[in-house]
Every structure is written in structure tokens, then in C-alpha cells.
Amino acid sequence: MNFKEKLKKKAENIGIALNELQLQQFQDFYELLIEKNKVMNLTSITEEDEVIDKHFIDSLTCNRVIDMNQVKSVIDIGTGAGFPGIPLKIVYPDIDFVLLDSLNKRVRFLNEAIELLHLKKIQAVHGRAEDLARKPEFRGKFDLCVSRAVANLNTLSEYCIPFVRVNGFFISYKAQKGLEEIHESDHCMKELGSKIMQVDEFKLTDIDSNRVLIKIKKCKGTSKLYPRKAGIPSKNPL
């Protein structure tokens, strides 16, 4: 099977039907990712099947825990090379997206991808979550925050939950280790005015290790104390 056939079949396996435009966008994004990765460190995963599974399909699995058709705005924190944000944007073109990353060279790559794929209602923003979460145009403005960033759940929640509106959600994409982090999150969730609603453990492929989606609801406004200044959430998690 070629790239499009493989992607289409694997997307169907998780309940997503991709049209020809979307399949072409994914292929164009894959080719850009591989080409740019030769000159800048975007991903260690470059083999076609692995990119499809571990970047594209993995990014789309949040449909397991949330109805994306009910979501109007999404922010992707620590998006890196655009995961999960760009795959989600391709599949859900009517949703407003913000992709946030602290490295300007990655933001330039994201802007190139957005232009190449002719994506609308999406912006790539250069900055730190600790800073942007205090700006009125970002704080408490999003139906959904997503992140595949590698950080402790408590640290990541402090970065992400301030962006979410009350009754909105934060979905953290985790490896199996994320299950251990849940047990240490009670104080953090209370401090941030949030609650873990669902933990979904699954395998992407038969040979893959387990993936975990942690769905967190923002139940009330987050204290102005959070997020704390850069470095503190990771050195001293809630």
C-alpha cells in the first residue's frame, strides 16, 4: 500500500474517514517534515509507517475521549513539529487552533506547514506557556487544550489548564508512565480548579507499548497564582 492507502486504513480503524484533500495534506506534511528534519531536529521518527502510527494516528486518538465536533477552539501546548495540533486541524478544519512552542525555529517550520497545506483559522505562536497563560487574549479562552509534551502531569497541568475555559478540557497524551503520575495529582488538580474525568489506556499497534489519554475538566477558574514563573513548575511540581 502507498502512503495514502495506509493512512486512510489506519484512520478508519480509529473511526476517522479522511477525504482526498486531507490525505494529500497529510502526505504533503509528511514530506515537508522529512525534508526539514534533515537540517533541523524536528523528530527522531522518520520511517513512513512509524510517522503514520506514532505521529499522525496518535495525534488523532483524542477522539476516543472527546467529541471534537463539539469543540470550537483548541490550543496545543509545546506542539514541537505540530503534534497533535496539525493532524487535528487537518481532520477538523472548522476549529480554531493555536500552536504554541518556545523555539522560534519550530514556529517558522509550523508557519511553513500551515502555508503549504492552505490551513485557515490556525496560528503558530512563539512563546512560553508561563507567559502567554497570563495574557487576557489566551487565558481561559479555549474549549480544549492538548499536549504531547514530555513533562510530569502536574507540571504540564499547571502550564495548560489556565488556558482552558471553565467546563472546558485538557487532554494529556502520555506513555504508560502517565498512569503513575495520576496517583500524585490530587493536590495539583484541586489547586488548579480541575478534575480528572477519564483515563483511557490503549495500544496504537499490536507491537506498541501502551498509550494513555488523561482527560481533565476545568471545573472553576484557576487562581492567578498559576502558572508560576518559568522553571518553578518543573523544579517544584504542585
Tell me the per-residue pLDDT of 4-22, one tens digit each, with 9 for 90 and over: 999 999 999 999 999 999 9
Q: Is 44 exposed, middle or buried (0-12, 13-18, 19+ CB in 10 A)?
A: exposed
What is the per-residue pLDDT for 76? 98
pLDDT tens track for 129-156: 999 999 999 999 999 999 998 789 999 9
Residue 236's CB: how many other CB atoms inside 10 A? Answer: 10
Question: Do 36 and 28 contact (CB within 8 A), yes or no?
Answer: no
In this prediction, residue 64 carries a pLDDT of 97
The pLDDT value given to residue 201: 95
What pLDDT sits at residue 1?
A: 87
| pLDDT at residue 111, as a whole number | 98
The dihedral of CA 131, 141, 185, 62: what is its sign? negative
**Which is nearest to 204 in space by CA: 214, 216, 213, 215?**
213
Per residue of the chain (238 residues), what is the pLDDT tens digit? Answer: 899 999 999 999 999 999 999 999 999 999 999 999 999 999 998 899 999 999 999 999 999 999 999 999 999 999 999 999 999 999 999 999 999 999 999 999 999 999 999 999 999 999 999 999 999 999 999 999 999 987 899 999 999 999 999 999 999 999 988 899 999 999 999 999 999 999 999 998 777 778 999 999 999 999 999 999 888 888 888 8
Q: 145 φ, ψ to 5°?
A: -115, 135
